[in-house]
Chains A and B, each alone.
Chain A
């Protein structure tokens, strides 16, 4: 990335990095004081209200991938690319009723893994954990990389150092405050992101000649405004299903469903989705102005920040810096907390130490958060590829979980074997499609195969699940404090 000159001076970059880093760590410590028990640390006391619920839903879903990949989609797939990215909000809309159902069926639940284990048994649970943890890692890696790329492109801070600082800040405040810190900081981050997007967006609209930009696109890159661009239309369905798969299976979203007050989850996910819907368009359209402005884009995932900084100068670059830092932090912290919960609860406690004390679980959880951060850092050191390459590899895997989860929550006769084979076949065939046909078909094919498998097993295997089995008693810990 050093081929593109930085827009901010390294000094300003370091100052911003220090201010935001210290602020998040301080807030993490402040809210972390509430996390006295394990339930407080993992689920913020199961008492999160609507405002924080909406903000955390929206901020977590506005990742660096939204603010950097949406412009990349616009640059490569045109107008449909932006719309395709916006369809990821449908995952939040569709999860809204599920969040309500989850809270009803599992009032004492902790993780998405709990549901799969209780609903489908151990074999399916193990496959699910592999998919979910792998996905969590790809998401973390894509954001760690994004952090390094951002620091480098905007302020000339070396990729390795920028990436290290962002991961360090997020690991530290998540460690202090668990989900209390994550949700509290998410509110402030969502406010900063929204202000930043509106300021940068209107700034660019004000600075460019919209008519001229359109004419330029029409003559130089007509495919970008083509209504019938097949790859882009395919990308819509792929992205829609990828978003649904990501949200339906990931403990990031399940932990919030458990953490929100009764009757808040459904509203929070609906409003969060609604507030998220315009963001990819608001952040993505600026990429379409890049070629008109004569900006040389050599790395597509940096198109958004580069255009914003070029048009709006230092102020634009500072705002973009803050927005991207918040986008990154709001998702990295959520992933660290949710993945750590999944490993602590599902692997450590369920598989190895069912009688672990609360103190012991807190220690293990802290160790896992640090370990996850370190592993992510290690994998991010060499830049693997573009953000899309890293993220979309997980698409077919998460796509295969949509149907087992949705039907498992509503159909008594959804088959355990069907869920297992749906995940295995969907992931396998989806990955073949990823390599043989292209990333934009992989999730689509995976979800279709998974759906067929679930339906075939439902028709052929007779099962009658008792919903009461999902209501597992609370964690009974020895020597809890």
Chain B
């Protein structure tokens, strides 16, 4: 049987968590930008 390598799984999992954190920051920055240009709603 061919298994997913341990390192590959580790990178994918940690990468997903980091990317989720980046998404959180990006959302806040987008909101700030929309607020500045008065384009929230």
Contacts and interface: CB of A to CB of B under 8 A. Distances in A.
Nearest to A210: B10
Name the interface size band of chain A: 35 or more
Contacts of A227: 2-4
Contacts of A49: 34, 39-41
B24 to A, nearest CB: 4
A194 B27 contact: yes
Contacts of B24: 191, 194-195, 198
A180 B28 CA distance: 19
Contacts of B34: 49-52
A222 B31 contact: no
B35 to A, nearest CB: 8
Interface in A272-291: 274-275, 277-279, 281-282, 285
B20 A48 contact: no
A59 B33 CA distance: 20
30 contacts: A49-B39, A49-B40, A50-B34, A51-B27, A51-B30, A51-B31, A51-B40, A52-B34, A54-B30, A79-B4, A190-B27, A191-B24, A194-B20, A195-B24, A197-B17, A201-B16, A202-B17, A205-B13, A205-B17, A210-B10, A214-B9, A226-B3, A227-B3, A277-B19, A278-B23, A279-B20, A281-B12, A281-B16, A282-B13, A285-B13
A191 B25 CA distance: 9
B30 A50 contact: yes
Prevailing SS type, chain A contact patch: helix
Name the interface size band of chain B: 20 to 34
B41 A45 contact: yes
A210 B27 contact: no
B11 to A, nearest CB: 11
A44 B40 contact: no
Interface string A284-300: 01000000000000000
Contacts of A190: 27
A279 B15 CA distance: 11
B27 A198 contact: no
Nearest to A59: B27
Most central of B2, B23, B27, B33 by chain A CB within 10 Å? B23
B2 A228 contact: yes
B28 A191 contact: yes
B36 to A, nearest CB: 11
Contacts of B27: 51, 54-55, 187, 190-191, 194, 275
Nearest to B13: A285
Given A197-B20, A198-B17, A222 B1 contact: yes
Interface in A415-433: none
Nearest to B40: A49
A261 B39 contact: yes
Interface in A198-218: 198, 201-202, 205, 210-211, 214, 218
B16 A48 contact: no
Given A51-B33, A52-B34, A198-B24, A225 B16 contact: no
Contact of A282 (B9, B16, B40, B41): B16
9 smallest CB-CB distances across A and B, nearest first, come from: A278-B16, A275-B23, A51-B30, A51-B31, A194-B24, A281-B16, A49-B39, A49-B34, A282-B16
Contacts of A104: none
A55 B24 CA distance: 10
Nearest to B14: A205
Contacts of A211: 6
Nearest to A190: B27
Contacts of A45: 41
